[in-house]
Amino acid sequence: MGVVTDIRGRGRAAKLRSVSLFWRIFSLNAVGLIVAAALLLGPVTVSTPVLPVEALMVVGGLAALLVGNALVLRIGLAPLQRLGRAMATADLLHPGARAPVSGPVETAALITTYNTMLDRLEAERAAGAARALSAQERERHRIARELHDEVGQTLTAVLLQLKRVADRAPEELREEVSQAQEATRAGLDEIRRIARRLRPGVLEELGLTSALRSLAGEFTTDGLTVRHHVCGNLPHLTEESELVLYRVAQEGLTNTARHAAADRAEVRLRPVAEGVELLVRDNGRGLDGAPEGSGISGMRERALLIGATFSLAPAPGRGTDIRLRVPAGTEGGRR
């Protein structure tokens, strides 16, 4: 019996939604005018001068008509107000939020059109982000190759020349030549470090686990200690997913080193239901209500590229948690 009542209630609600806003307002106005005309033609008359009872009846009828119109407009326009709030808070970096389809037929059609437009915009943004990030990775590889092959080789040649100069230089100049050698060697090491960040060769050659271990070691300095923990039973990941995981971990540690004022951080990668979860946690100053910068936006876009879920939240106690949940791929990934 309850099921039948529920079905009938849904049927009545569907019929009510199929009535347009125009006919709702028109029907209520028509009913009010018909009732007023019937009363004037029937027992209700207006005297000259107007009697208090007659004035009260006219005012009461007018008030009832206005209240009815207000209720119809309030009910009919409420879905438009919800649509306006949904449009004001829409963010393509936080996809999936849709305005509920309700109200008269015109309003429901408008909300449906908006949701369809949002679907198309999110799909186009994802495609555009994929092309942009792919071009960015190609440019990173090109710059890394030029730094390694051209600038690196040039500095190596300078080191060899300085070695020959040091062998023939007088005693009073050898200290200065030695300092030049150390500065050149430090510049060469920095060039190699930048090239490794631009093009993670360890990821391509040894896999994600070794790449994250190397990344943690790279960011471990005198003021920051980075621990890493990668589970050994990870599901298969596509190369694209592995690259996004690496880049998000790299950007998260870069933000920690530059802005968090932290002395400890950790990188964890573990299997979860239907995928893996990356956690980058630090014990720094936390979010402090600061607006998201280009680094966070870039991580969100990379997450959208592979259908992953990205979140940024305060860490337990103090600091920041960056989480990236990536669905497992159908291709065999490197581990």
Query: Domains in the chain, start-ordered, CATH in brackets?
Result: 2-89 (no CATH), 201-335 (3.30.565.10)
What are 204-236's pLDDT values in tens digits?
Answer: 777 888 888 888 888 888 788 999 998 878 888
Nearest 5°: the CA angle 79, 80, 83 is: 90
Per residue in 83-118, is it b (16+ CB within 10 Å) or e — as a string? beebeeebeebebeeebebebbeebbebbeebbeeb
Residues 6+ apart with CB under 8 A from 80: 103, 107, 110
Are the C-beta atoms of residues 99 and 115 closer than 8 Å to each other?
yes
Residue 287's identity, in one-letter code, is L
- Local structure of 58: helix, strand or coil: helix
Q: What is the pLDDT of residue 215?
A: 86
What is the per-residue DSSP string for 118-135? HHHHHHHHHHHHHHHHHH
What are the helix (H) ranges across 199-293? 201-206, 208-219, 239-255
pLDDT: is 54 or 254 the higher one?
A: 254
Q: What is the pLDDT of residue 37?
A: 66
- CA–CA separation, 74 vs 76, rounded Å? 6
Residues 6+ apart with CB under 8 A from 99: 82, 83, 86, 87, 111, 114, 115
**What is the pLDDT averaged over residues 191-203?**
73
What are the helix (H) ranges across the chain? 2-17, 21-41, 52-89, 105-146, 152-168, 171-198, 201-206, 208-219, 239-255, 294-305
Q: What is the pLDDT of residue 329?
A: 63
> Average pLDDT over the chain, rounded to whole?
78
Q: What is the pLDDT of residue 10?
A: 56
Partners of residue 266 on adjacent β-strands: 227, 281
Q: What is the pLDDT of residue 279?
A: 93
